[in-house]
Amino acid sequence: MPETSFAKSQLKALVERIERLEEEKKALADDIKEVFGEAKANGFDVKVLRAVIGWRKQDPETRKEFDAMFDLYADALGMT
Amino acid sequence: MPETSFAKSQLKALVERIERLEEEKKALADDIKEVFGEAKANGFDVKVLRAVIGWRKQDPETRKEFDAMFDLYADALGMT
Amino acid sequence: MPETSFAKSQLKALVERIERLEEEKKALADDIKEVFGEAKANGFDVKVLRAVIGWRKQDPETRKEFDAMFDLYADALGMT
Amino acid sequence: MPETSFAKSQLKALVERIERLEEEKKALADDIKEVFGEAKANGFDVKVLRAVIGWRKQDPETRKEFDAMFDLYADALGMT
DNA sequence: GCTACGGCAGTGGCAC
DNA sequence: GTGCCACTGCCGTAGC
């Protein structure tokens, strides 16, 4: 069970640190959104863009294996 | 502004209907999870399975367009 | 490693079972959405409604403990 | 329809900007997780902590209204 | 203006 | 017990 008698100051410090970090995180999230908006304005398809970026995060080996198995299943299901 | 004087019975009825439906929804979610578990036990890759199922939800035309653009972007980024 | 030689028919059967279940699940999700819409139309605050329903899922003991600790923290942070 | 003939360099630039920002965002997310871990190690209840921090984001007026309506509904449902 | 969809964050369950 | 992954609910955005 979490303690019930605790230092206020400690709690405050923790909360403030978290709030500060979340603020910064939000700022970055906004920046990212902005860049996607810019991309869209330039005619790029945002959905595809996201997919490509996600794909780049995977190492090539993983991507290869995934693709292979995907095709295998898709084929078995008659998704030509 | 939402009303503040309202019929208790109406509120109760609504809440109960929602809870009942959510219960049923949860049961189905459990069933689905179970089938995936079965698939896994039979050697299927669940992650790929999910992807394929998701893919099947898209109409062929959309899939085709998405793929084409994906390849286009991937190529432009040198993801061979 | 997941098997690479597998029964097409087995895969198909699994996928179809999942798709069927997901369909039913979606139907229920739609029903739920509809009830919330009805609630809204009757002047209820949907956000609050969701919170109350969520709250009802917790057992009374848990709720009590949570509330107590919440107040404790809030107090320590000067959120009167 | 999104353009199909586009500048590779532009795409690359956009993707790299996004990836850079996401990296920074992830670093902050990790930092936050770390602080919560620290809080937990000091006996704080993380779930409650999150709730309190979320609550602080709402302006007092909103909080007040929400609470009032919550109690109203809860009462109507016999959740004493 | 509201309704519907998609993405994001938080929670819980599973695996190591 | 910890870390990872998927599911769910919430929120903000886009379309009717």
- Which pLDDT band, with edges at 50, 70 and 90, does D1 fall under? very low
Closest nt by CA–C1' to D33? E10
pTM score: 0.92
SS3 at position B35: helix
| Residue B72 token pair | 């286009």
- Helices within chain B (DSSP H only): 8-41, 46-57, 60-76
For D29-68, the pLDDT digits (tens) are 999 999 999 999 999 999 999 999 999 999 999 999 999 9
pLDDT at residue C1, as a whole number: 46
Residue whose pair of structure tokens reads 């209840």 in the numeric block: D45
| CA distance from start to end of chain A | 57
Chosen from D46, D49, D58, D69 to mutate, greatest number of chain C CBs within 10 A: D69
Q: What angle do CA B28, B63, A35 make, to 5 degrees?
A: 95
> Which residue in D62, D27, B7 sits closest to C47, CA to CA?
D62
Residues 6+ apart with CB under 8 A from B47: A66
Cα(B41)–Cα(C25) distance, integer angstroms: 23
Residue numbers in B near D10 (CB within 8 A): none
